[in-house]
Amino acid sequence: MTESPRIVRLQKFLARSGVASRRACEELIVAGRVSVNGVVQSELGFKVDGEQDIVCLDGKRISLSDEKVVLMLHKPAGCLTTMDDPQHRPTVASLVPTDKYPGLYPIGRLDKDTTGLLLFTNDGELGEMLLHPRHHVKKQYFAYVDGVFDKECIERFKQGLSLNDGMTAPADVSVLRGKELAFAQKMLEAGALPKGKSPKKSSPGGQKTYLSITIREGRKRQIRRMCEHVGHPVLALHRQIMGNLDLGDLPRGSYRLLSDEETVALYKSAAE
CATH number where 38 lies: 3.10.290.10
> Do both 105 and 238 map to the same domain?
no
CATH number at 227 reads 3.30.70.1560
Cα–Cα distance, 62 to 73 (Å, whole number): 25
Number of domains the chain contains: 3
Q: What is the mean pLDDT of residues 204-222?
A: 87
Average per-residue pLDDT in the chain? 85
> Do both 152 and 226 map to the same domain?
yes
Q: Has residue 1 been placed in a domain?
A: no
Q: Has residue 82 been placed in a domain?
A: yes
Reported as type and span, the H/E element at residue 166 is strand 166-167
Q: Positive or negative, the Cα torsion across 240, 243, 246, 252? A: negative
Q: Provide the pLDDT confidence category of residue 131 given band limits of 50, 70 and 90.
A: confident
Q: What are phi and psi of 156, to 5 degrees?
A: -65, -40
> Do both 127 and 144 map to the same domain?
no
CATH number at 86 reads 3.30.70.580
> Do both 251 and 123 map to the same domain?
yes
CB atoms within 10 A of CB 148: 14
> Do both 236 and 252 map to the same domain?
no
Give yes or no: 111 in active site.
yes
The answer to which of 14-18, 168-172, 264-268 has the lowest mean pLDDT is: 14-18
Select the more confidently predicted residue: 223 or 188: 223
Reported as type and span, the H/E element at residue 267 is helix 260-271
> Do both 80 and 35 map to the same domain?
no
Q: Beta strands 234-242 and 115-121: pairing type?
A: parallel
> Do both 57 and 114 map to the same domain?
no
Select the more confidently predicted residue: 92 or 219: 92
**Percent of the chain predicted with pLDDT > 70:** 88
Rounded alpha-carbon distances, angstroms, from residue 254 to 75, 110, 116: 8, 16, 10
Cα–Cα distance, 46 to 36 (Å, whole number): 10
Amino acid at 127: G
Q: Provide the pLDDT confidence category of residue 267 given band limits of 50, 70 and 90.
A: confident
Find, among 171, 26, 189, 10, the residue nearest to 115 by Cα: 189
Q: What are phi and psi of 62, to 5 degrees?
A: -115, 135
Cα–Cα distance, 166 to 254 (Å, whole number): 36
The answer to which of 2-11, 84-93, 142-151 has the lowest mean pLDDT is: 2-11
Q: Has residue 89 been placed in a domain?
A: yes
The answer to which of 83-87, 122-126, 186-190, 196-200 has the lowest mean pLDDT is: 196-200
Residue 187: per-residue pLDDT: 85
> Do both 260 and 128 map to the same domain?
yes
The answer to which of 7-16, 83-92, 213-222 has the lowest mean pLDDT is: 7-16
Residue 196: per-residue pLDDT: 45
Q: Provide the pLDDT confidence category of residue 202 given band limits of 50, 70 and 90.
A: low
Residue 14: per-residue pLDDT: 85
Q: Has residue 222 been placed in a domain?
A: yes
Amino acid at 105: Y
Residue 211: per-residue pLDDT: 96
Q: Provide the pLDDT confidence category of residue 3 given band limits of 50, 70 and 90.
A: very low
DSSP 55-120: EEETTEEE---SS--EEEEEEPTT-BSSS--TT---BGGGGS-TTTSTT-EEES---TT-EEEEEE
Domain that holds residue 102: 70-133+246-271
Asked if pLDDT for residue 4 goes beyond 60, the answer is: no
> Do both 213 and 83 map to the same domain?
no
Q: Has residue 2 been placed in a domain?
A: no
Q: What is the mean pLDDT of residues 176-199?
A: 72
Asked if pLDDT for residue 18 goes beyond 90, the answer is: no
Half-sphere exposure of 159 (CA within 13 A, CB side): 9
Q: What is the mean pLDDT of residues 205-231?
A: 91
> Do both 154 and 127 map to the same domain?
no
> Do both 114 and 146 map to the same domain?
no
Tell me the β-bridge partners of 36.
Answer: 39, 55
Residue 25: per-residue pLDDT: 87
Q: Has residue 173 been placed in a domain?
A: yes
Cα–Cα distance, 50 to 42 (Å, whole number): 18
Among 86-90, 102-106, 125-129, 154-158, name the most confident range: 154-158
- Classify 232 as helix, strand or coil: coil
Residue 215: per-residue pLDDT: 95
CB atoms within 10 A of CB 162: 10
CB atoms within 10 A of CB 156: 16
Asked if pLDDT for residue 79 goes beyond 50, the answer is: yes
> Do both 235 and 172 map to the same domain?
yes
CB atoms within 10 A of CB 204: 7
CB atoms within 10 A of CB 56: 15
Residue 128: per-residue pLDDT: 73
Catalytic-role residue among 49, 53, 111, 172: 111
Residue 1: per-residue pLDDT: 39
